[in-house]
Amino acid sequence: MSKLSHLDEHGRASMVDVSPKDPTERVASAEAVIVLSEEAFKLALSGEAPKGDVLATARIAGIMAAKKTSELIPLCHPLALSHAGIEFAPDDERSALKIVASVKTVGPTGVEMEALTAASVAALTVYDMVKAVDRSAVIESVRLLSKSGGKSGTYEAEPKSAPAPEASAPVLPRPKAAPRVLVHEASAPRARNAPEERSALRAFMTERRLRATEWAKSASVPLNELYGFLSGRARAIPPATAERLAEAAGVSVDTMFGRKGSR
């Protein structure tokens, strides 16, 4: 068994002395996968989450984490990174996001930990951005995808293959967090056709480039009343709130909800 490089001859933790090594180009990539509820997944992609643009925020967080890895992982060397990037690959069938971090430097040691830290922090940031809608979101894996450069050469991870479910064990849907019932949700009247009107309202917001936070503020209405309906937690938007939102958008309530016969 090879000796762990971060332990000295007495078994004590120590930072590896890399000064004798020649600087070479070092590249690494890592991925993290986070599985969301359908509503949280759609909001993450839409950029309309209550806290703002989920993917943009997670991308910045991942890049910052790559640069600060040596401050988080005790025995990592501070490195001058020449590149750090975050990309997202949505999986519509699973309502999941695959986050891929890529990092590069020219130096005497590798950037695997920088890539892994970037992917991990980006996934944690996605969770933080959507937890108001989906506290049951799961970061199901973090792994190194590839690395190159240095004495150990090139590494490529094996492609993932989904395990086949056992015949005797039925596949059950992932449980969703039970939403907290708000006062306006219990008292609001039921929408004529909540799913259709919710979809119509989202399309209306997209067409007119209305952000939930800014629209609610301009209409002087509570954001949670608008967002509760958009996320599916509320059956309807209270009539007074709907009137103010429509007025702020310069349309009728029927137009806002895509009701037939509206103009």
Both tokens of 155, joined, read: 């590494």
Q: How far is Cα 254 from Cα 241, in angstroms, rounded to an integer?
A: 14
Catalytic residue, from 17, 91, 92, 128: name it.
128
Read off the pLDDT of residues 159-180 as tens digits, 9 standing for 90 and up.
Answer: 876 555 444 445 555 555 444 4
Instruction: Give residue 120's pLDDT.
Output: 98
Q: How is the chain split among helix, strand and coil, in percent rounded to 5? A: 35, 20, 45
Query: Residue by residue, what is the 3-state secondary structure of 8-27?
Result: CCCCCECCCCCCCCCCEEEE
Is 141 in contact with 32 (CB distance < 8 Å)? Answer: yes
Residues 67-110 have pLDDT tens digits of 999 999 988 889 999 999 999 999 999 999 999 999 999 988 88
Predicted pLDDT at 186: 38
Confidence of residue 59 (pLDDT cuts 50, 70, 90): very high
- Please, which pLDDT band fits residue 215 given cuts at 50, 70 and 90? confident
Any catalytic annotation for residue 128? yes
